[in-house]
Amino acid sequence: MDTARPSPNDDGLMPAAFFGHGNPMNALETNRYTSAWRAFGAAVPRPRAILVVSAHWYVNATAVTAMPRPRTIHDFYGFPRELFDVQYPAPGLPELAEEVSDIVKPTWVGADVDSWGIDHGTWSVLVHAFPDASIPVVQLAINADKDFGYHVDLGARLAPLRQRGVLIVASGNVVHNLAGMDWGLVDGGYDWAQRFDADAKERMLTDPTEMATLDGHRDYRHAVPTPDHFIPSLYLAGLAGAAGGSGTDVLVDGFAYGSLSMTAYTLGLRLPEPPAGPGSPRQATDAPPTASNI
């Protein structure tokens, strides 16, 4: 087994992160976003496990995966065959499901032993950050029935896991409007997308728990037509709040196709932001953007 690298944090806490994962094709590409994800993976101490909150497990319950061998889920269509061939055979860690359940009490968390696995919101990032797929991966479902305050609070309740060698990763997009995508704006963002992302950034870097108030932003309805991709950022906000409201940094930022923000944040780990340059991958070839589940 690999020897764990020393923690970069004086307090011994494992870092945490939110990744704007964007197009699933990022799994196959090398660009400024995937390079930042790889740099993150190289910089963190080796985790005991990775707990991921992915936008793509959005259900009416709070649950964690508890199977020893989670399957790789290809939850999209209209993409090249090579993307469906990607496998991320990381082991699970059923005992982590029990830890999560204990830590967040009285919030109830169920154990999923057979219905989910590792979806593309998770593996499209981890294939770059931890390409050997040897670290156990557990996913936490987003409960669609709960308000933003619930998710910030649940993120804060997960904070003790950072002292136990668990890397907590959230994966979504702060701005995510598939209906508004323009394939011609490869690395561009609409004015409303840039405004919303900038205001989200100000909150995440100065008063993270205020991320939950962005539902009152003038551009919210355009930037967040459905909350599934935005909510993961609230988990990092909750973790940052539990850490005293400081320690968040931008890992990389930018836009894709006008209406996707690719901004990623770290907590407890500062890395230099990669230089500006092309970031967006190849597009889907068949399915319309609104149906491709990216």
What is the C-alpha separation between 231 and 149, in angstroms, rounded? Answer: 10
What is the C-alpha separation between 229 and 24, in angstroms, rounded? Answer: 14
Determine what percent of the chain is predicted with pLDDT higher than 70: 89
Is there a contact between 23 and 280 (Cβ–Cβ < 8 Å)? yes
**pLDDT per residue as tens digits for the range 58-85:** 999 999 999 999 999 999 888 999 999 9
Task: Look at residue 292 and tell me whether its pLDDT is greater than 60.
Answer: no
3-class SS of residue 209? helix
For residues 85-102, average pLDDT: 97
69 versus 291: the higher-pLDDT residue is 69
Q: Predicted confidence band at 294 (pLDDT cuts at 50, 70, 90)?
A: low
What is the C-alpha separation between 176 and 181, in angstroms, rounded? Answer: 9
Strand 255-256 to 260-261 pairing: antiparallel
Task: Look at residue 231 and tell me whether its pLDDT is greater than 80.
Answer: yes
pLDDT at 4: 38
**pLDDT per residue as tens digits for the range 213-225:** 999 999 999 999 9
Task: Look at residue 284 and tell me whether its pLDDT is greater than 60.
Answer: no
Is there a contact between 67 and 113 (Cβ–Cβ < 8 Å)? yes
Task: Look at residue 27 and tell me whether its pLDDT is greater than 60.
Answer: yes
pLDDT at 273: 72
For residues 205-234, average pLDDT: 97
pTM: 0.91
Task: Look at residue 160 and tell me whether its pLDDT is greater than 90.
Answer: yes
Structure tokens at 39: 């740099």
Task: Look at residue 254 and tell me whether its pLDDT is greater than 50.
Answer: yes
pLDDT at 282: 56
Q: Predicted confidence band at 293 (pLDDT cuts at 50, 70, 90)?
A: low
